[in-house]
Amino acid sequence: MSANLSAILYLISGVLFILALRGLSSPETSRQGNLFGIIGMIIAVSVTFLSVGNFSSGFIYVLIFLALGGSIGAFIAYRIPMTAMPELVAGFHSLVGLAAVFVAISAFINPEAFNLGTPGNIKLASLIEMAIGAAVGAITFSGSVIAFLKLQGLMSGAPITFKGQHFLNALILISIFVLTFYLCTTQSSKLFWILIAISFLIGFLIIIPIGGADMPVVISMLNSYSGWAAAGIGFTLENTALIITGALVGSSGAILSYIMCKGMNRSFFSVILGGFGGTEQSTTNKNKEQRPVKSGNADDAAFLMKNASSVIIVPGYGMAVAQAQHALREMVDTLKKNGIKVSYAIHPVAGRMPGHMNVLLAEANVPYDEVFELEEINNDFANADVAFVIGANDVTNPVAKTDPQSPIYGMPVLDVEKCKSVLFVKRSLSPGYAGIDNDLFYKENTLMLFADAKKMTEDITKNL
Amino acid sequence: MEIDPFIFRLSIFILSIFVGYYVVWSVTPSLHTPLMSVTNAISSVIIVGAIIASLSGKDEAVFTSSSLFGFFAIILAAVNIFGGFLVTQRMLAMYKKKKKDK
């Protein structure tokens, strides 16, 4: 296949990838978008086979490995529960990162295959691109592995900090640049390996100090890195599809990190520098005296909701942990049968990754036009009769609006307290991720329902 | 004077960043999770590099040190491609509109 024809086909697959993302602007077009993505991928892979034109025994092995990886991927995709999406995405990021590292290594060992010159005499530009691709890929890999372990609970979500951490990180980052420079002048393979090794190390070091509460930012950030790694390799291979995709994914992840940071009112740098959500809670808790709370049971809750004309549900990660989304939907169905208007309010950082709550509600057959984002619904709380907070905590805390001393001050929150009455399903009065007490617990119009979210929801449904 | 092809690729790259910027801002927040899984899948187009690398061996020596890395990368990227697209499909299939039977 001629180089020009394959370049055009790669461009087409790049455009199809753009359309795949474009389709996600509404749920109706999203499925078609995904199909465009799949077609784009098929084109890119077939063009590569045709332009390499090597259909010898190596080709058979390629197909075998493709099928092997594909079936593992398909198996995971069908088996993974929706609550585990953050872990899955983190895991997938690590694979993209590692694949980028492997491709870069392969190109370094055998540059002839990629038309980049001969070993020890690789074109300068290619060498720089390769080094960037390998370094960013390695950072993505080790960073994602840590994120995966933290999300999976195999590693504590608490930030791990030590003295001189920032200094060490800065030192490693500088040495990555220095090594890249010397790699270009000497073409030494030893330097290339060291570069990859310290990139793995820095990926590990930048994620360990980031606390569990900041995971949505971390996942989005690693999403972005995986894109830049792909773009770096795309430059090495002079492949348009890869360059376009890398840029798309890179900017997509960057925008998501920005949205997540804004949702928490944190600057991107303070997230990266880490240490949030671990150390402060011990001090703030001591200062708070015991305050009275009103607690109730399923009967009280059912009574309140039966007499309401509109109810707003505020779900959070706790709902996912308790697997209460289906029970919640049943409760809402019963409410709707009684002529009560129900809508859902979702905070940008509810859950552990962008849009996580929406997926869980969709899984429970909640129509997406009943689910609203913070800006869309925040004014409605004042007119609603009951707010039903299930598994959410920090995102409803009015302290964010009133107390400049609070670590979450300035964070956009759902104005739940403006509702006539608030039902708060929670196991205990323990603080949320941010480690601070929620003033909402002690409000006059709040009724605490101390129970497992799923059980409580089922009990309320029975009492309705 | 001739322009280095690198400049063309850089132009594509920069323009794609802008395309990505505007396209992603128009993605509805309720689909941010599928957005992440689909970007995961498409960034695995890095498999083209892996295929080139793994087919670099000769007939008598399919597995060289360089092609081995290519084969590993193929497995990783394939997991991502199939897993990413399928899980996105699975998620998107769940998004339903309110039934208008009332």
- Residues recorded for chain B: 102
Token pair in block for residue B33: 């999770």
Q: Are A69 and B74 an interchain contact pair (Cβ–Cβ within 8 Å)? A: yes
pLDDT for B4 equals 85
Residue A382 gets the label, from left (phi > 0), alpha (psi -120 to 50) or beta, of: alpha
Which of A20, A74, A353 comes nearest B33 by C-beta? A353
Tell me what percent of the residues of chain B surpass a pLDDT of 90. Answer: 67
pLDDT for B99 equals 64
Which of B6, B43, B51 comes nearest A249 by C-beta? B43
> Are the C-beta atoms of A225 and A139 separated by less than 8 Å?
yes
- Residue A421 is inside which H or E element, if any? strand A421-426
The values of phi and psi at residue A191, to 5°, are -65, -35
Q: Say whether A439 is catalytic.
A: no
pLDDT for A31 equals 92
Could you tell me how many CB contacts below 8 A there are between chain A and chain B?
378
Tell me which residues of chain A have a pLDDT lower than 50: 277-287
SS3 at position A423: strand
d(C-alpha B99, C-alpha A375), whole Å: 25
CA distance A464 to chain B (A): 22
Which of A26, A62, A96 comes nearest B80 by C-beta? A96
Q: Are A41 and B81 an interchain contact pair (Cβ–Cβ within 8 Å)? A: yes
pLDDT surpasses 70 at B1: yes
Q: Are A34 and B88 an interchain contact pair (Cβ–Cβ within 8 Å)? A: yes
More confident residue, B65 or B99: B65
> Are the C-beta atoms of A409 and A340 separated by less than 8 Å?
no
In degrees, rounded to 5, the angle at the alpha carbon of residue A387 between the alpha carbons of residues A384 and A391 is: 155
SS3 at position A422: strand
CA distance B102 to chain A (A): 11
Q: Are B69 and A106 an interchain contact pair (Cβ–Cβ within 8 Å)? A: yes
Q: Whole-number mean pLDDT of chain B?
A: 89
Tell me: the pLDDT tens digits for A18-53?
999 999 999 999 999 999 999 999 999 999 999 888
pLDDT for A121 equals 82
